[in-house]
């Protein structure tokens, strides 16, 4: 059992918290109440960032001491919204939210994953007709192995997990978000993932 804090209790965070609890982990889901994020991060082994990507850096940088030595799983994408509320452009072109987080939190092991799919696929990958891909980016190999294990608890087959390398590879998967609004406009919120086909 892993002690987990999920920061953000919207559709993404709520879905992850429910599934991780069902898998037998001790999970605390945190809203925006003052001090709640710090308290949860301080007692967790693994912290999931499911907060809106545009504000994630400031919010998490303020938790630097509470996140020291922890694994921070970043599932968010930092984008500006278009007129229809869907992602329009990257906030950190030539970089990524994950890289910015790692720079701001040098004593935390940032792992980027699950940001290339609709939220319902994160916890039910086997329901897609085609096996999806969960990409992993991070500087710490042991942290990535730990998170790959948690992905397994969420239903991810090891063959569906693609370790891309260090945290700089997150800029590639974060850029994949730019295809998502076009798919959503044509198909609505039908579950899908941006995946490798072999």
The number of CA neighbours under 13 Å toward the Cβ of 178 is 10
Note whether residue 82 is domain-resident. yes
Provide the sign of the torsion angle of the four alpha carbons 126, 128, 131, 134, taken in this order. Answer: negative
Residue 138 forms part of a structural domain: yes
Instruction: Tell me the pLDDT of the chain (198 aa) as tens digits.
Output: 899 999 998 999 999 999 999 999 999 999 877 688 999 999 999 999 999 999 999 999 999 999 999 999 999 999 999 999 899 999 999 999 999 999 999 999 999 999 999 999 999 999 999 999 999 999 999 999 999 999 999 999 999 999 999 999 999 999 999 999 999 999 998 999 999 998
**CATH number, residue 10:** 3.40.50.720
Residue 196 in any domain: the answer is no
Q: Please report how many Cα atoms fall inside a 13 Å half-sphere around the Cα of residue 44, on the Cβ side.
A: 29
């Amino acid at each position: 059992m892993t002690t987990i804090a999920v920061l953000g209790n919207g559709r993404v965070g709520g879905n992850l918290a429910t599934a991780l609890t069902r898998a037998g982990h001790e999970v605390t889901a945190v809203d925006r109440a003052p001090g709640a994020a710090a308290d949860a991060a301080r007692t967790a082994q693994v912290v999931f960032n499911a907060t809106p990507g545009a504000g994630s850096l400031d919010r998490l940088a303020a938790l630097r001491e509470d996140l020291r030595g922890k694994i921070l799983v970043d599932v968010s994408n930092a984008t500006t919204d278009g007129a229809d509320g869907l992602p329009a452009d990257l906030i950190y072109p030539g970089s990524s939210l994950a890289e910015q987080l790692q720079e701001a939190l040098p004593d935390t092991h940032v792992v980027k994953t699950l940001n290339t799919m609709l939220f319902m696929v994160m916890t039910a990958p086997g329901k897609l007709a085609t096996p999806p891909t969960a990409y992993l980016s991070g500087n710490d190999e042991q942290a990535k192995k730990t998170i790959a294990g948690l992905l397994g608890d969420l239903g991810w087959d090891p063959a569906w997990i693609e370790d891309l390398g260090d945290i700089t590879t997150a800029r590639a998967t974060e850029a994949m978000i730019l295809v998502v609004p076009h798919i959503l406009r044509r198909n609505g919120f039908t579950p899908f993932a941006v995946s490798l086909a072999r």
